[in-house]
Amino acid sequence: YNGSYRVPVLLFRGHSIDGKPLEWEDIEKDFSSYTHQLLKESKWTFLTQEEHPYLNQPWYSLHPCGTSGWMGFL
């Protein structure tokens, strides 16, 4: 939970079939063309990489300033 924005925090990460963590370029390949355009315009406003609060490992997260808007699409 992000207290500043008052929204849940969505953390995620992916792994390749051989167990290696996915790099940003690997994750980006799965986005739609519309999302690619958004990322080009403002890459780190949409997604950011941060340390997991309990596991102390790098995870990607949907930036909390956009959570409310993006969750509205679901």
Residues 6 or more apart in contact with residue 47 via CB below 8 angstroms: 39, 60, 61, 62, 63
What single letter denotes the amino acid at residue 72?
Answer: G
> Which residues face 21 on adjacent strands?
15
**Could you say which of 39, 60, 65, 66 is catalytic?**
65
Query: Is 65 an annotated catalytic residue?
Result: yes
Catalytic residue numbers? 65
